Amino acid sequence: MRRIAIIGAGASGLFLSRLLREQPDMEIYLFDRCKQVGTKLRASGGGKANIFNTNIFPEGYNHPDFAAKVLEKVTPDRLRQAFDSFGLAMCADEEGRVYPLTQFSQTVVDILWNPEHPRINPVLEYEVSHLTYQDNRWHINDYPTAFDSVVLASGTPANIIPKNRKNYNNYLSTLQLYTHPWVPSLVGFKIKDYPALLSGCRVKAIASLYQGRDLIHKEFGEITFKDDGISGIVILNLSAYYNRLDDKRDCHISLNFMYHDTALDIEKHLLRHGSLQGILHPKLNALYERKPFDVRDFKMDISEPYDLTFAQVCHGGIDLSEVDDNLMIKRHPNLFAMGEILDMDGICGGYNLFFAFATAIMVAEGL
């Protein structure tokens, strides 16, 4: 019997345990620092879990080449078939975002997790703090069982409050891997000289991220104005592209509120109606009356992204040069890494859960 330890009972860890429990020669130990499994999976998609997308494109990730290699091995259709074989009914929206038919993330956790299964050993409320390799076996802290293989699936400190993210993934230092610092991604931005009167306003706009005069990325969608900055899915996506810049100076976001009418002549409209109250959200109009701005190019200078606590994922993690094509760590035997702990992050729309599940399939094959 081969003993496999998975560190982290999150999206990728649960999925891998579901795949491996079919293997009669494997005994699986699933370690998690929390009492509950799948915390982020349950929180994902506003509680509905957008588990993948039917149209994943490699450029949606910070390392498109690596993403392309993953997609060569695991297509969205292959992932759909895997979920199908577990008995999960799914539905997709018009943008290819796939959800469980129940529209309830707990359903996904329930089909992946069976702590009573004879080959699954849950080790919960257990924080892994160091790993050692001795006599051809892996040892976890002072846990009494030694393991043939270990899979690192402990994710990142995104969306975790500061007191709970202290020493997060510190055990990585015992492995001496090349890692990149955790940086918040899929997160809103604090804005310099922010007009606080916009707080609470929600509007649709085309949002463009610029560095100096260079357009980095542009998207259409809903913007949420907060007390000191902006958020919303389009802004979260802009943060993913912002993180890909080596030098982040001189970045601003431009909002075009007139996306619906490119021909509208603002000067004529003002002459005719005396104000923009018929075409702008009341809070934007109040701001305009105080200090007119270009409604097609409302510039907001980025101060900084919001803190990790508000991020959906992290940019950073284990450098991709550390893993081989089966996601085995090259410098250590029988050690694998999958999911967000790798230096891969994607945009909103099912990209990050797809990566977690697809890499779990790759590790299952490697094992």
Ligand X SMILES: Cc1cc2nc3c(=O)[nH]c(=O)nc-3n(C[C@H](O)[C@H](O)[C@H](O)COP(=O)(O)OP(=O)(O)OC[C@H]3O[C@@H](n4cnc5c(N)ncnc54)[C@H](O)[C@@H]3O)c2cc1C
The DSSP line for 151-172 is EE----STT--GGGSTTTTGGG
Q: Which of residues 348-367 bind ligand X (CB under 6 A)?
A: 350-353, 356
* Segment contacting ligand X by CB under 6 A, of 227-235, 272-280, 300-308, 333-341: 333-341
Residue with tokens 């079919």: 22
User: 295 vs 342, which CB is nearer to ligand X?
Assistant: 342
User: 198 vs 353, which CB is nearer to ligand X?
Assistant: 353
The token pair at 57 is 């494109």
Pairing of the two strands 298-305 and 131-134: unpaired
Q: Which of residues 106-145 bind ligand X (CB under 6 A)?
A: 127-128
- Least Cα distance to 114 among 42, 28, 34, 33 occurs for 28
Half-sphere exposure of 330 (CA within 13 A, CB side): 9
Q: Which of 4, 9, 201, 238 binds ligand X (CB under 6 A)?
A: 9
Q: How remote is the C-alpha of 283 from its chain's centroid?
A: 32
* Minimum CB–partner distance for residue 157 and ligand X (Å): 9
The token pair at 81 is 């078939």
* Minimum CB–partner distance for residue 97 and ligand X (Å): 8
* Whole-number Å distance between alpha carbons of 314 and 333: 27
Q: Which of 122, 155, 188, 195 binds ligand X (CB under 6 A)?
A: 155
* Amino acid (one-letter) located at 291: K
* Minimum CB–partner distance for residue 10 and ligand X (Å): 2
* Minimum CB–partner distance for residue 362 and ligand X (Å): 13
User: 239 vs 254, which CB is nearer to ligand X?
Assistant: 239
CA distances from 227 to 231, 283, 290, 364 (A): 11, 13, 19, 45
Q: Which of 19, 45, 79, 175 binds ligand X (CB under 6 A)?
A: 45
Contact 177, 318 (CB under 8 A): yes
Q: Which of 83, 171, 210, 298 binds ligand X (CB under 6 A)?
A: 171
Q: Which of residues 199-228 bind ligand X (CB under 6 A)?
A: none
User: 255 vs 363, which CB is nearer to ligand X?
Assistant: 363
Q: Which of 12, 224, 239, 256 binds ligand X (CB under 6 A)?
A: 12
Q: Which residue is nearest to ligand X (CB)?
A: 10
* Whole-number Å distance between alpha carbons of 162 and 160: 6
Give the length of the chain.
367
If DSSP codes are grouped into helix, strand and coil, which group holds residue 174? helix
User: 101 vs 215, which CB is nearer to ligand X?
Assistant: 101
The DSSP line for 39-66 is HHHHHGGGGT---EETT--GGGBS-HHH
327 binds ligand X (CB under 6 A): no
Q: Which of 219, 322, 340, 343 binds ligand X (CB under 6 A)?
A: 340
50 binds ligand X (CB under 6 A): yes
Q: Which of 159, 224, 231, 237 binds ligand X (CB under 6 A)?
A: 159
Phi, psi values for residue 39, rounded to 5°: -60, -50
* Whole-number Å distance between alpha carbons of 47 and 106: 8
User: 255 vs 344, which CB is nearer to ligand X?
Assistant: 344
What residues line the site for ligand X (CB under 6 A)?
Answer: 7-13, 31-34, 39-41, 43-45, 49-50, 127-128, 153-155, 158-159, 169, 171, 312-313, 339-341, 350-353, 356
